[in-house]
Amino acid sequence: MQLFKDFINGLWNENPIFRMVIGICSALAVTTAASNGIAMGLALTFVLTCSSILVSLLRSVIPAKVRIPCYIIVVATFTTVVDLFMKAYFPALYEVLGIFIPLIVVNCIVLARAEAFASKVGLARAIADALGMGLGYTWAITLISMIRELMGAGTLFGYRVMGEGFTPWVSAILPPGAFIVMGILVGLINVINRKTAKRTQCH
């Protein structure tokens, strides 16, 4: 039951994008197409999960005074693996995501979970938390990407969805569009949570 709670927590209650609003640089920069959102989300999920596993296993070995540099080295190792993998097998996608793959090293979601959670709990809970946070980030960034691509190009995953008469909202795929879409979604999530909380209190 505890593992399930840890997993679900990242998907909704403490969703890094919509609830905690951290690690949003990549969420705003690369979300011009749905495929970009999924790729970035899966890359971060891999790094986050592998880093949390290693940090949890080494938590009693890493000296407290140098824990942050050690965490960064761990994260950098797995980020390099993802960076080289994408560069070798998905060069077109790698070019689109650009600098944001290497920047996973300093993504506050990864470092925050290593410091606040993985370094304090056992392996099973660290994995559950990392997967929940990673997949929570993935669905959030993918949703933003889908909305921006649909409104800005009339397509989803590169396939035309809107009719021929549709006029693309160019602003949706420009930087201001990212802030607008994310702001609206954060507002909707907050409304849903408030209504859910009121219903729970009534019962």
Domain count, the chain: 1
The per-residue pLDDT for 165 is 85
Task: Flag whether 116 is in a domain.
Answer: yes
The C-alpha angle with vertex 194 and arms to 12 and 146, in degrees rounded to 5, equals 45
Torsion angle of alpha carbons 175, 81, 17, 156, nearest 10°? 60
Task: Flag whether 176 is in a domain.
Answer: no
Task: Flag whether 165 is in a domain.
Answer: no
The per-residue pLDDT for 203 is 64
Task: Flag whether 107 is in a domain.
Answer: yes
Task: Flag whether 189 is in a domain.
Answer: no
The per-residue pLDDT for 184 is 95
**Low-confidence residues of the chain, pLDDT below 70?**
203
* Structural domain span for residue 117: 2-148
Provide DSSP, 21-88: --SHHHHHHSTTSHHHHHHHHHHHHHHHHHHHHHHHHTTTTS-GGGHHHHHHHHHHHHHHHHHHHHHH
The per-residue pLDDT for 185 is 95
Task: Flag whether 169 is in a domain.
Answer: no
Task: Flag whether 111 is in a domain.
Answer: yes
pTM over 0.85: yes
Task: Flag whether 46 is in a domain.
Answer: yes
With the C-alpha atoms ordered 151, 153, 155, 157, is the resulting torsion angle positive or negative?
A: negative
The per-residue pLDDT for 107 is 87
